[in-house]
Structure 1
Amino acid sequence: MTLVVGLGCRRDCDVDALLALFDAALAEGGIERQQVTALASIDHKQHEPGLLALAERLGLPLRCFGAQHLAMFEDRLSHKSELAFAHTGCYGIAESAALALAEDLAKAPSRLLISRRKSPQATFALACAG
């Protein structure tokens, strides 16, 4: 099974804040770090230092998608954020990105295993496929 973590974050979000959310959400879902295949986000965040540092620290690839691609997953989101839409053009970065990459990697339909979790600086979601 392919497990993908989708992440959204504020500009200059610290890697430790991302890691804390990552670990807390995985623990809540009973998932171990090493079960995660990849990280995903929106293309606006592809150079975000905290996300890049998290990917490096975890030894996971980070793949980012454009808002138009992420919008295709709108009907499968557990939460739709008007604020996210105003800033990015899609209603949910973490969930949409996780669904998109899990589906792409597994070449099979994806679903949310852990819906959106939020900290003051970031959002997290876990999708699975295969």
Structure 2
Amino acid sequence: MGIGCRRGVSVEQIEAAVRDALGDMLPFEALRAVATVDIKAAEPGLVAFCARHALPMRTFTREQIAALDAHTNASQAVREHMGVDGVCEPCALLATRNGRLLVHKRARDGVTVAIACSADDIGAM
């Protein structure tokens, strides 16, 4: 799962956005990791969310995100602020092996969430 967020969002805001993105499609227990841009690695709400659910956090540099050769939903605001087209979708894809997006970017209350599934998991579905 890729997550992007504004500075200072709460763990509750992240929790609500994740549950909204999951909807009825996937159980919360299906999540294996949180992926985000490296400059968000110490964001208190994100750190607390990962700790609350025992999810490892994987981070990627803006260079890794920019080098991803995949079509993702671009955000002009993210491009202006961070120099990349997006965070949640590219990070979700980078965290999977030959994966695809199951849930495209969903925005809620300062948090964006995208969910990707690896090729191995797709075959098991």
TM value normalised by structure 1: 0.87
**Unmatched 5+ residue regions in structure 1?**
104-108
Moved over 6 A (4+): none
Please state whether the residue corresponding to 2:109 is helix, strand or coil: coil
What's the offset of the Cα at 1:87? Answer: 1.2
**SS at the partner of 1:75?**
coil
**Aligned position for 1:75:** 70
Identity %: 33
| Cα pair 2:17 2:109 within 8 Å, conserved | no
C-alpha root-mean-square deviation of aligned residues, in Å? 1.1
TM-score, length-scaled by structure 2:
0.90
Unaligned runs of 5+ in 2: 121-125
Distance 2:45 2:23 in 1: 21
Number of aligned residues? 119
More helix by share: 1
Looking at structure 2, the residues matched to 68 and 87 of structure 1 have their Cα atoms a distance apart, in angstroms, of 14
Q: Secondary structure at the match of 2:70?
A: helix
Partner residue, 2:23:
27
* Matching residue within 96, 100, 103 for 1:114: 103
Partner deviation per Cα, 1:21-44 (whole Å, 9 max, x = no partner): 10111114x101111110000011
Q: CA deviation at 1:63?
A: 1.0
